[in-house]
Chains A and B, each alone.
Chain A
Amino acid sequence: MSFMLYNNKIALVDCNSFYVSCERLFNPSINKKPVVVLSSNDGCVISRSTEAKILGIKMGEPYFKVKKIVKENDVKTFSTNFSLYGDISRRVMKTLKQFSPQMEIYSIDEAFLDLSSLKNENLLEHGYKIRETVLKWTGIPTSIGIATTKTLSKAANYIAKKEKSGVINLINSKKIDNLLSGIKINEVWGVGRQLTKFYIKNGINTAYDLKNIHNSWIKKNTSVFGSRTAMELRGLSCVSLEPREEKRKNCSVSRSFGRKVTTLDELSEAITTHCLNAAEKIRLDGQTVKKITVYIRTSPFQIKNNYYANSKDIDLPIRTNDSIMLIKQALDGLKIIYKKGYRYQKTGIVFSGLKNADTYNKNLFSEVNNDEKRIKLMKAIDHTNIKYGRNALSVAQARLKKEWNIKKQHDSKIDTSCFDFLPTVKIA
């Protein structure tokens, strides 16, 4: 495949241990200590400092499993503080934007930059400049991988993180095959759990193996995504940068309970709250919902016969973003899957099939009811909640106590975008 285009130069900038780095920004006392950030309701480890990684704390591990390590090593733990992480993320992205107007924000802590206008010999230096600027302006350390395709830039980034070199440029690198054979197949961008199993069964263990597999074999045995990944590893760009911010296609809210929950009443309360949060988000984006999924489950670590998990999809006859309609449907679904006698640990909802609210909305089954009044009511709720804080106005079903929700025991309570929770300094 010698006709391929090698002109693309793509950098993937990824923040190191992003949530931990945000917590460290205003709290230098934890700079050299092991630190972890826990998911909502202090369920699982979702960010680890290098020191915490060395102690053997794994990504995604439930907190109770690492509690012993945490105690014995004085690991500093934090609950998520997403308003802080969101603000710092926006700052990082704004800083990156000046280095390339062609940029795709890939996640809260990652962005692809198109650096095709630069000469190859200047790329490494440019990478270091980006890294230095982001660190100085925002206080967040990053790693940067530069290559001819998105998949390769992900791989380069992986190596930069592993070698702690900060910046790696794979373009025209003689070491590229050598480096790719050091990347396990499950670490390759776009290779999920199922595909990993399949590849390993067929003797494809590294990124290098996948790069060299015959095209016709890949096309025959995997989906179009499989062959795309292989071609990208060879340097043929198949996945282009998406600079536009795409609207979400689905919206999910879930939470692990602070304690085990058994009654339908409490589950209903949680589902109602989740629906309210998700409905507010999609209304802000001007979207409507076609399908609701409700799910509940006990702890997967529960002894076998006490484990129960189930979900229910509800197809809505008419798209809506009306909280009251959505809650009603979701609670109907919950009643169908709820079983007495289990200690539930988690429940959540997914709104899917999201589309712009202005898409044609009515059909044969539409009632000619008080649509306009309802839209006004939802607007009033959203405005009130933006002004006076979430849950200032809610529906009675969500209740006020939320006993199931004992979240954020280790919250740092700093918010760089809110006057009431600004970081503080002392005069010494």
Chain B
Amino acid sequence: MKVLLPFHLNKVGAGFPSPATDYVEDDINLNAHLIKNIPSTFLIRVQGKSMNKVGVHNDDLLIVDRSLNPKNFSTVIANVNEELVVKTFIKENNQSFLTSGSKEIKDKINLTENLEIVIWGVVTYVIHAV
């Protein structure tokens, strides 16, 4: 287990102590900020094309939480045709769809009609190198 030690700002000296020493600084911890539910959160790398409209690019890292249920316009990982792919989840007139971010009708997969398609997890953050 990793233990993060508190980081003290000042040495103890003889003079007037810095008023800031009461505020013990923790190292900044990106995990704690980006991962709400540790056992259900996975890091997954994007391979291949980019999905520019959604802001997902080749080689990005996705933080995916399996415990969440998708909301309208959630970016999700889904099992489509025996493959894990990135999609956008859309709700319309009580029906759910997956799209690749385009507005073309043929791009829409109706989840109510394709019960074999399952949502694998919901993408919560995209880590993109610039």
Residues of A within 8 A of B (CB): 26, 28-29, 31, 90-92, 94-95, 136-139, 416, 419, 422-428
Contacts of A90 in B (CB 8 A): 39
Contacts of A31 in B (CB 8 A): 82
Decide if B86 touches A423 in the complex (CB within 8 Å).
no
Decide if B38 touches A28 in the complex (CB within 8 Å).
no
Cα–Cα, bound, A90→B38 (Å): 10
Contacts of B47 in A (CB 8 A): 424-426
Decide if A95 touches B45 in the complex (CB within 8 Å).
no
Q: Chain B 51-90, CB within 8 Å of chain A: the 1/0 string? A: 1000010000110001100000000010110111110000
Decide if B83 touches A29 in the complex (CB within 8 Å).
yes
Cα–Cα, bound, A416→B61 (Å): 12
Contacts of A425 in B (CB 8 A): 44-47, 62, 77, 84-86
Decide if B46 touches A137 in the complex (CB within 8 Å).
no
B42: CB under 8 A from chain A?
yes
Decide if B84 touches A416 in the complex (CB within 8 Å).
no
Cα–Cα, bound, A136→B121 (Å): 9
Leading 6 A-B pairs by shortest Cβ distance: A137-B40, A94-B39, A91-B39, A29-B82, A424-B47, A428-B85
Cα–Cα, bound, A423→B77 (Å): 12
B34: CB under 8 A from chain A?
no
* Pairs A–B under 8 Å by Cβ, sample size 26: A28-B82, A31-B82, A91-B40, A94-B38, A95-B39, A136-B40, A136-B66, A136-B67, A137-B40, A137-B67, A139-B66, A139-B120, A419-B43, A422-B43, A422-B44, A423-B84, A424-B45, A425-B46, A425-B47, A425-B62, A426-B46, A427-B46, A427-B49, A427-B50, A427-B51, A428-B85
For chain B, what secondary structure do more than half of its interface residues adopt (helix, strand, loop), or is it mixed?
A: strand
**Of all chain B residues, which has the CB nearest A31?**
B82
Given contacts A422-B61, A424-B45, could you give 13 more A-B pairs where the C-beta distance is less than 8 Å? A28-B79, A29-B82, A95-B40, A136-B66, A139-B66, A416-B42, A425-B77, A426-B49, A426-B83, A426-B84, A427-B56, A427-B100, A428-B85
B10: CB under 8 A from chain A?
no
Decide if A427 touches B83 in the complex (CB within 8 Å).
no
Contacts of B84 in A (CB 8 A): 26, 28, 423, 425-426
How distant is B99 from chain A, measured CB to nearest CB, in Å?
A: 11
How distant is A58 from chain B, measured CB to nearest CB, in Å?
A: 28
Contacts of B82 in A (CB 8 A): 28-29, 31
Contacts of A94 in B (CB 8 A): 38-39
Cα–Cα, bound, A422→B49 (Å): 18
**Of all chain A residues, which has the CB nearest B79?**
A28
Contacts of A29 in B (CB 8 A): 82-83
Cα–Cα, bound, A292→B71 (Å): 58
Contacts of A137 in B (CB 8 A): 37, 39-40, 66-67
Decide if B43 touches A416 in the complex (CB within 8 Å).
yes
Cα–Cα, bound, A137→B45 (Å): 19
How distant is B40 from chain A, measured CB to nearest CB, in Å?
A: 4
